[in-house]
Chains A and B, each alone.
Chain A
Amino acid sequence: MHTLNNSSSDKKELFASHIYVEEKIEAHPLVQRIRERFKEAEYVNIGHYKDIFCRQGQNTALQEHQKNIILARKEGTLVYEGAPVCQSFGHRYFYYTSCVMNCVYNCEYCYLKGMYPSANLVIFVNPEDIFAQVEQILKEHPVYLCVSYDTDLLAIESLTGFVSRWIEFTRQHPELTIEIRTKCANRKLFRELPVCERVIYAFTISPQPVTEQFEMRTPSMEARISCAGYALEQGHNVRLCFDPMLYFKDWREAYGEMLKKIREQIPDGALTDASVGSFRISKSYLKSMRKRYPDSAVIQFPYELQNGYYQYEPALVEEMEGYLTKQLQMLYPTLSIFRW
């Protein structure tokens, strides 16, 4: 049984030594804002973001230590139907969108490492085009939209302002509900962002050993729990996501301890709901991740392949998810808990 005492990814904080900008959006206000923020960065003009993002033979493990920024205009289909491995929380019309690709955090188990050929951050400067596509879908039926799947929008809110824009858009469209998934613990944001009843902040919470070992650059478990509690006090809707659950020595104690800490700060009845899910990932993504990260125990773990997705063996899945769900139910008798 492996223990969480291996050193994994480097924790260096180098960020944006280079900013690559599509020539067609050079004059965009957001481009100017980001350039102002990263004055020391080298500024490189490009034709299309894929010229940088989709280069052959990139070393994403190295890029994680030095993420650069690519500024682009998103085109084509901008809103996608939700994936089967993702939780829809009972919503029939479940979609997701990405106005940013990749994340400032570096979680060792993250599917982004298998999905994208680069670790660089791509910021699309035209969320208004995404809004326009969402409006088209809203003409047909209500929409439940996850806007922060492939990134952590809250973590870069001071850079992009996208969360504010999504809140404003949601307020204007009563049939729209959005989820903003995050590991961010910036309380100031929750003091300043306007409250909207159809905006749900989904905090991913992991036990502290998991945070330390596998979730580089993220706030501590305590900080996230505290921030979630603060967001609730400010009137925001909060969901807690215990996903992915990871298997390691003493996992029961660690997850149990985590839940106790949460319960100390967040009362029953306060949360919108919660989700529980053990690690799972598509075959193609894990294949890519295993090739790129040979030294990662969590990526190299011998998962079982079931219906095109790698996951823990069924008995272990049931044991882990069952345990956490039961503990949650005991601490939060009125909470709706969704298992994937």
Chain B
Amino acid sequence: MDFCIITKEVPVDEISPGNDKKDAMFPDIYLCNKVTDAERERSFYPDLIFPHPFMECEVTDLELAAQYKERLRQGGSHQTMVLVRPQTALRQSGQGESPNQSEQGEAQDQSEQKKSTKQSSDHSLEQAKNILAICLKQEFSEPRKNFSEPDFTQLCEEFSCSQTMAEQLRQYLCYGAAADIDSCKILEFMREEGRLPVPNKREGVKQLAYFKQQLIG
């Protein structure tokens, strides 16, 4: 399963924090349970249906909402997540000005501090993103793979399938996979018995019914 995690630093007034979480891994990074586009009065709700170590919040941010909406087209609400960090945290973590420095020196120092603080906050957001990705991967497994298409096409030929028969055959194979029945073994047995491949469609209908009966018992 593919996941998309959007990260952004946003003004603090765009964030409405949820419950306080004493054991939250990051004190200033939030996982969004609601992303709002205030202009269009439209909200999106990521499905936070897995355990995670983040505090949650609602965020109202036009750009984020647009990004989320766009990414949602590629994956569902359980696959598209948003992590935010308030911009005040960026400013607060860059504090420590000396009153004796010259203005130029001050400006240079502040610029350096902001650069290194931004780098460390990017690092934190990146860390948070990696941890969230681990949470998602741990919780959600890949769906079972079905019968491969080249084999299915060959099988349809063996049964001399019409379109309706092909749909039925596909459903039988889906059922076999879901019920952990070895469909390949049954088909191999049918080939050994001379039931497959069939000479005509009429015989194909008969053998398809036989295949179904072998599956369901």
Contacts and interface: CB of A to CB of B under 8 A. Distances in A.
Contact of A302 (B19, B43, B180, B215): B215
B78 interface: yes
Contact of B34 (A6, A44, A58, A66): A44
Interface in B40-81: 41, 43, 45, 47-51, 56, 58, 72, 75-78
A56 B72 CA distance: 9
B162 interface: no
B156 to A, nearest CB: 16
B79 to A, nearest CB: 8
B26 interface: no
Residue picked from B146, B179, B212, B217, most chain A C-beta under 10 Å: B179
Contacts of A55: 45, 77
B47 A59 contact: yes
A52 B47 CA distance: 9
B49 A65 contact: yes
Residue picked from A51, A58, A300, most chain B C-beta under 10 Å: A300
Contacts of B181: 2
Given A1-B217, A290-B174, A294-B178, A18 B33 contact: yes
A79 to B, nearest CB: 30
B143 interface: yes
Contact of A294 (B50, B72, B144, B215): B144
B-side interface mostly: loop
A68 B77 CA distance: 14
Contacts of B19: 40, 42-43
A249 interface: yes
Contact of A301 (B45, B49, B143, B216): B216
Residue picked from A52, A56, A297, most chain B C-beta under 10 Å: A297
Given A42-B56, A62-B78, A301 B175 contact: yes
Contact of B77 (A44, A58, A66): A58
A308 interface: no
Contacts of A295: 143-144, 177-178
B88 to A, nearest CB: 22
A290 B76 CA distance: 18
B105 interface: no
B215 A300 contact: no
Residue picked from A2, A47, A51, most chain B C-beta under 10 Å: A2
A57 interface: yes
A32 interface: no
Contact of A57 (B76, B143, B146, B175): B76
B168 interface: yes
Nearest to A41: B19
A294 B146 contact: yes
Nearest to B172: A302
Given A68-B49, A295-B144, A302 B18 contact: no
A63 interface: yes
Nearest to B214: A1
B171 interface: yes
Nearest to B1: A59
Nearest to A59: B78
Contacts of B45: 20, 44, 46, 51-52, 55
Contacts of B189: none
B165 to A, nearest CB: 12
B210 interface: no
A309 B19 CA distance: 46
A58 B78 contact: yes
B152 interface: no
Contacts of A301: 175, 179, 216
A58 B216 contact: no
B142 to A, nearest CB: 11
Contacts of B43: 46-47, 51
A296 interface: yes
A63 B47 contact: yes
A20 B32 CA distance: 14
A303 to B, nearest CB: 9
Contacts of B178: 6, 294-297, 299-300
A2 B171 CA distance: 15
A35 B212 CA distance: 51
B148 to A, nearest CB: 15
Nearest to B146: A294
Contact of B143 (A18, A56, A294): A294
A191 to B, nearest CB: 36
Nearest to B75: A57
Contacts of A14: 51
Given A6-B180, A302-B215, 20 more contacts: A20-B45, A42-B18, A42-B19, A42-B56, A44-B33, A44-B34, A46-B45, A51-B45, A52-B45, A56-B76, A57-B72, A62-B140, A63-B49, A249-B217, A294-B143, A297-B175, A300-B177, A302-B168, A302-B175, A302-B212
8 contacts: A2-B181, A2-B216, A14-B51, A46-B45, A63-B47, A294-B177, A295-B177, A300-B171
